[in-house]
Amino acid sequence: MSIDLRAHLEQASHVLAAAQRGDREAQSIIFTAHRDRIAQQILRMTGDPASVDDLVQEVFIAAFLALPGFRGDSQLSTWLYTIATNKVRSWWESQRRRRARELSYAPAGDASSPTPEDDMMAAQQRDSFYDALGSLPDRLREAFVARAVEGLSLCEAAEALGAPISTISYRARRAEQLLCAALGLPWRGDAE
């Protein structure tokens, strides 16, 4: 191991230990190091830029509260990924409730602002995709997002979601099948 790398790792473990004790500076370092990646992950998982700020805040508050119990079994980034996944799961749940309320009380048409046609098509496709994604059961959605949207390998996804590789593989595939059905896309999984 090179001296630079060792020094870096030692520094990282000092920062982690200080953050576990509730040190403000150390928590700030961790937040700055992981903020953008978590924000991107949340955006890819929800498709809703307006919710990113709130969810980032929720993720880091939850992480810092739970940090004293972090034993280092996994990498900090993987651990944060898991927390973000849980927060996004709650977010989808609240979205489902909100949409159900909206459908019951406000049957008005789409109020989105006019955009050029191409953009609008793409926006519609994105909305359809995230609508279909939101309708999936939590575990299927999480496995699918980890694999197909986040681009995690089966190993990484299994570690982040705390499930065996075969389970992740099955869930992601099942989610893809359901998404294809919901979006009117041909399912090509059985042809393999």
Q: How far is the CB of 163 from another protein (least distance, A)?
A: 8
- CB closer to another protein, 36 vs 102: 36
CB 59 within 8 A of CB 38: yes
Q: How far is the CB of 59 from another protein (least distance, A)?
A: 9
- CB closer to another protein, 100 vs 155: 155
Coil, helix or strand at residue 162: coil
HEC string of 6-72 equals: HHHHHHHHHHHHHHHCCCHHHHHHHHHHHHHHHHHHHHHHHCCHHHHHHHHHHHHHHHHHHHHHCCC
Residues that bind another protein (CB under 8 A): 1, 22, 24, 27-28, 31-32, 35-36, 39-40, 43-44, 47, 49, 52-53, 56-57, 60-61, 64-65, 73-74, 122-123, 125-126, 129-130, 147-156, 158-159, 163-167, 169, 172-173, 176, 179-180, 183, 185-189, 191-192
Residue partners of 149: CB distance under 8 A and separation at least 6: 44, 45
Q: How far is the CB of 105 from another protein (least distance, A)?
A: 29
Q: How far is the CB of 182 from another protein (least distance, A)?
A: 10
- CB closer to another protein, 68 vs 97: 68
Structure token digits, residue 192: 């393999």
Residue partners of 166: CB distance under 8 A and separation at least 6: none
- CB closer to another protein, 11 vs 75: 75
Instruction: Name residue, tokens 């920062």.
Output: 15
- CB closer to another protein, 28 vs 101: 28
Closest CA to 45 of 92, 97, 115, 10: 92
